[in-house]
Structure 1
Amino acid sequence: MKERIKSIILFVLVANSLFLTWFLIFYSPNNEKESPSEYVPRLTFGQELDVKQMIRPKQIIYHLGENSHSLSNTDSEDFKQLEADFDHWSFYEITSISEPIDWTKMIEVEQGIEIVFPFSLPNSVLSSLYKISTTMYLDQINRLWLVLDQNEKVIVYFISDQKDKVYQAETSISSKKLSKYIASGVNQPRYSYYWAFNKERNINTKPIFYLPNEGLEMKKVRKFITPVSIEDYIQLLFIDPSMVRKVYELGNKESVLYTDGSRSMQFFPNKRVFSYFQPVTDNRKQLDWNNDLAASIRFVNQHGGWVGQYQLDDLGFAEATSQPYFTFQQYVGGYPLLTNKYLIGEINIQLVDGIVSKVEQSMTLLDQDLDTKYIKTSSGPELLKKLEQHKIDAKVITSIELGYQVEKKNDVLELFPHWRVRYNQNDEITIPAYEGGM
């Protein structure tokens, strides 16, 4: 009797197995689907970019001597020409400076150029930009300062405001070449320098910000929006879109969750923002900023591309996961789109062991200009007066940046010139950069 029951159970199991096999063969969608490494998305919105196109200074300051200064942003021809020469620069005989530098003299008297990055560069990222011959660990560098000394020799200072460290180096850049760089700043609008609030209480470095002596010509822009749907991004980000299901939708439609059983996407319809998650096992591999950055850029290249001009704006470790993250910011006409609640012009990526685990971005993508209008921004002194009205003293300002505040109106994006002012420790305010501004 027992043997007969066992035979019946075995028969049922075998039959069930055969049925499931038959079902998978004939009814599984996209049976011959590609593996993640072979998957090629079917949609493309923008261009492909590489690492060097992403790691860019945010501004170059020309120190012309006699306390005269000018500045160029990322869209100017002088900026692009100087940036193109980075590949030919080399630095050697690098030493750490222990004696205090006379920064006032450096700024007001010495001629040179100051290259300012929007974030502190890890050693490996810095080494990917320039040819650096040293065993010294140059970490968290955010400024390079090239000056002509009394003997007409070029001296370079690698500055880390975060670490309060300064390194001096010799360079392959000739005095003639540096003089040519400096000369390109002569016809640029003049700026004045201001000592920034030294929240790190630095001894060796002196953070600085610069403001124009007179108003600058800048565009106010209205742009069309590239129409993109949540279905488009599901097709881009999931290997087999037909397996994706809507798991839940809140009654007020603030959030919708999609998943294929492994990866997931949380969509916020009101803001048209999504967060994409992909499970990755953390094997605690050694951190490699260069590889992680390349993986982040490659991920966007392979999943729709970059709509417009982006550059790396920040990197670090996410508070919640302690995993490395990268923030990419879009620029229009050489000015950044300032942080906004819709995340327009911003892409945030987290990685685990060199594999993208989270992507957060807006589905509102900038298209062609609808119209533009030239305006004149407020000058530095005018801005400081406005800040006084907001009870913000110049002594507590850490940085000031000119950029675009974004407002969405139906199917049009309006870009208004604004000043972004950071002060005290972590406070921030944006102020219209022209009369009658938003």
Structure 2
Amino acid sequence: MIEKGKSVLLFLLVVISLVQSYFLAYSMPYMEAKVKTELDYVKTEPLGTEENVENLIFPEQLVLHLGDDKHTVFYPSTLPYYDLILTKLQGREFKGMKRDLVNTVDWDQIRRENKGVELRFGRDIPFELLQRVFKIDDDFLFWRDSIDRIWIYSSKSSDEVRTFFFSADGSNVYESERADITIGDVEGYVGFGQYWDPYSSEDGNVYIPDKPISRLLRMEVPFSRYTTEQMQDNLFFDPTTTRTIQDRQDGPQFYTDGKRGLKVEQDGIWMTYTDPVAPTNGENDIIDNVMAATSFVNQHGGWNEKYQLVKEIESESESIIRFQQYYREVPIVSGSSMNFGYMQLTLQQGFVSSYNRSLLVLSNEMKNKSTRQLPGGDQLRDVIGNLDLGGRNIEALFPAYRPSLGKETVVMSPVWAARLLTGEVIIVADSIPASTK
């Protein structure tokens, strides 16, 4: 009887111990809620939308080779054909990569004689990032390389489809020997361009329309803007500690929390945010920094239009990442008159040390639209030939919008823009009112 009583008592002690352990374990959050860290001050207000990095990587041009030295060019604004081709290629698989030297093939002969499509990104895209956009074989030994073109063509001589990825430094080319693309696929891509504007190129790099083109509108676009208070709430850990260094209506405005700084200028439409980062000795990885830059924008202002990854400058100490803004699928190029049409971030090992962006939010509404004509043919060649580029060569030509800021609207005017080998983008030629004939 005594032994039975001991057993019951022991059982009760065990139960009481378990109950006490339960309350101790699950009462901890009440204690933790009293502890406040610096990050708890961040109460960011959602402004723009969030974006995935794969949606920021896309070709600036699709060059279609129609055979017999006939060509045309699709831009992101060439809807729906640009999207149809790109979507189809994103669903294909590229396997069995083989590396070779780029000069082992006469590419000028191939572009003149064979039907195919070139995807031109216009900047270095690391293979590891490109894999987020296309289904590229994982078993690939050259991931640290970057590419700037993909060229797919059907060979007249061998009746087969060949697919090549061009390294951005111009030295190597990678062939996907097991890409699931058929001759019928290539014929379909090329078929979209049969009745499009004809383009010509003397060197296979810069393509110029044979005739003027009238596909873009001049328009006035209403806008709203992010306020300085909204950006302070998004960028400073505790906005209540932020103080004004200089606040004048006729000049830049400066704000700081003692460590980070915010400069708002151009009558409140452009901001520069700085956050000093201590130098480190670790590796500065460009891919990690691109991912970190995308995440930072998602959390601090968001994306209020379509953007494209256009610049990745990497050094031992930092990376500079730039995203080009598009409006209605056309890039915005402001020239030197105003800062507008891009975001740029400087990062060190994933930490953002500077952040530049416009505070304007363009409306989808358009006012006072009019059709404009961009020059082509010999007229455009003469304009380009008369440019004083100081020895800098043009590597790409594309239509763009040049913005002009009014009181309530931004005027978007179609222009020809060019990217130089240095990476600089300039405005080459203006548009004129389209003929009514």
Q: Are the equivalent residues in 2 in contact too, given 1:94–1:136 (CA < 8 A)?
A: no
Change (3 A) 1:168 1:306: same
1:255 counterpart residue number: 252
Change (3 A) 1:172 1:309: same
2:111 counterpart residue number: 107
How far the C-alpha of 1:254 sits from its partner, in A, is 3.4
Q: Which residue among 152, 160, 176 is the counterpart of 1:169?
A: 176
The SS at the match of 2:201 is strand
Counterpart Cα distance in 2 of 1:322 and 1:221: 43
Change (3 A) 1:366 1:175: same
1:203 counterpart residue number: none
Tell me which moved more, 113-122 or 422-431. 422-431
Counterpart Cα distance in 2 of 1:185 and 1:348: 35
Q: Which amino acid in the other structure matches residue 328 of structure 1? A: F
Residue by residue over 1:125-157, the C-alpha shift from the partner in whole angstroms, topping out at 9 and shown as x without a partner, is 233333134213462311111111233222112
Residue by residue over 1:159-199, the C-alpha shift from the partner in whole angstroms, topping out at 9 and shown as x without a partner, is 2353433233312222222222222222322111132xxxx
Q: Which residue among 373, 377, 383 is the counterpart of 1:376?
A: 373
Counterpart Cα distance in 1 of 2:423 and 2:296: 31
Equivalent residues in 2 for 1:9-20, closer than 5 Å: none
The SS at the match of 1:208 is coil
Q: Which amino acid in the other structure matches residue 116 of structure 1? A: R
Tell me which moved more, 292-301 or 49-58. 292-301
Q: Which residue among 130, 133, 143 is the counterpart of 1:129?
A: 133
The SS at the match of 1:36 is helix
2:193 counterpart residue number: 185
* Mapped pair 1:116 → 2:116: no
Is there any run of 5+ residues in structure 2 with no aligned partner, and where?
A: 1-33
* Mapped pair 1:158 → 2:165: yes
* Mapped pair 1:353 → 2:349: yes
Counterpart Cα distance in 1 of 2:343 and 2:196: 32
Q: Which amino acid in the other structure matches residue 166 of structure 1? A: V
Residue by residue over 1:16-72, the C-alpha shift from the partner in whole angstroms, topping out at 9 and shown as x without a partner, is xxxxxxxxxxxxxxx98664388341241x222111110111111111101111121
How far the C-alpha of 1:290 sits from its partner, in A, is 3.0
The SS at the match of 1:232 is helix
Change (3 A) 1:107 1:279: same
Q: Which amino acid in the other structure matches residue 179 of structure 1? A: E
* Mapped pair 1:309 → 2:306: yes
1:363 counterpart residue number: 359
Counterpart Cα distance in 1 of 2:36 and 2:363: 33
Counterpart Cα distance in 1 of 2:236 and 2:171: 45
How far the C-alpha of 1:395 sits from its partner, in A, is 11
Change (3 A) 1:190 1:364: same
Equivalent residues in 2 for 1:7-86, closer than 5 Å: 35-36=38-39, 39-44=42-47, 46-75=48-77, 76-84=79-87, 85-86=89-90
Q: Are the equivalent residues in 1 in contact too, given 2:331–2:400 (CA < 8 A)?
A: yes
Change (3 A) 1:428 1:233: closer
* Mapped pair 1:430 → 2:427: yes
The structure whose Rg is larger is: 2
Residue by residue over 1:199-242, the C-alpha shift from the partner in whole angstroms, topping out at 9 and shown as x without a partner, is xxxxxxxx601111122221112101113221221112112211
Tell me which moved more, 235-244 or 106-115. 235-244
1:324 counterpart residue number: 319
2:402 counterpart residue number: 405
Q: Percent identity?
A: 21
Change (3 A) 1:394 1:351: closer
Counterpart Cα distance in 2 of 1:138 and 1:107: 28
Q: Are the equivalent residues in 2 in contact too, given 1:40–1:302 (CA < 8 A)?
A: no
Counterpart Cα distance in 2 of 1:59 and 1:208: 11
Q: Which amino acid in the other structure matches residue 246 of structure 1? A: T
How far the C-alpha of 1:400 sits from its partner, in A, is 2.0
How far the C-alpha of 1:390 sits from its partner, in A, is 4.5
Q: Which amino acid in the other structure matches residue 405 of structure 2? A: K
Change (3 A) 1:93 1:295: closer
How far the C-alpha of 1:270 sits from its partner, in A, is 3.8
The SS at the match of 2:82 is helix
Counterpart Cα distance in 2 of 1:215 and 1:159: 31
1:225 counterpart residue number: 223
Q: Are the equivalent residues in 1 in contact too, given 2:284–2:348 (CA < 8 A)?
A: no
1:143 counterpart residue number: 149
Change (3 A) 1:37 1:420: farther
Q: Which amino acid in the other structure matches residue 96 of structure 1? A: D
The SS at the match of 1:124 is helix
Q: Are the equivalent residues in 1 in contact too, given 2:42–2:236 (CA < 8 A)?
A: no
1:22 counterpart residue number: none
The SS at the match of 1:117 is strand
Counterpart Cα distance in 1 of 2:303 and 2:160: 41
The SS at the match of 2:124 is strand
Counterpart Cα distance in 2 of 1:285 and 1:394: 38
The SS at the match of 1:181 is helix
How far the C-alpha of 1:122 sits from its partner, in A, is 2.2
How far the C-alpha of 1:291 sits from its partner, in A, is 2.7
Q: What TM-score comes out, normalization by structure 1 length?
A: 0.81
1:202 counterpart residue number: none
Is there any run of 5+ residues in structure 1 with no aligned partner, and where?
A: 1-30, 196-206
Counterpart Cα distance in 2 of 1:402 and 1:314: 19
2:211 counterpart residue number: 214
Counterpart Cα distance in 1 of 2:260 and 2:424: 36
Counterpart Cα distance in 2 of 1:99 and 1:384: 28
Q: Are the equivalent residues in 1 in contact too, given 2:122–2:396 (CA < 8 A)?
A: no
Counterpart Cα distance in 1 of 2:371 and 2:395: 29
Q: Are the equivalent residues in 2 in contact too, given 1:124–1:289 (CA < 8 A)?
A: no
Q: Which amino acid in the other structure matches residue 342 of structure 1? A: M
Change (3 A) 1:74 1:37: farther
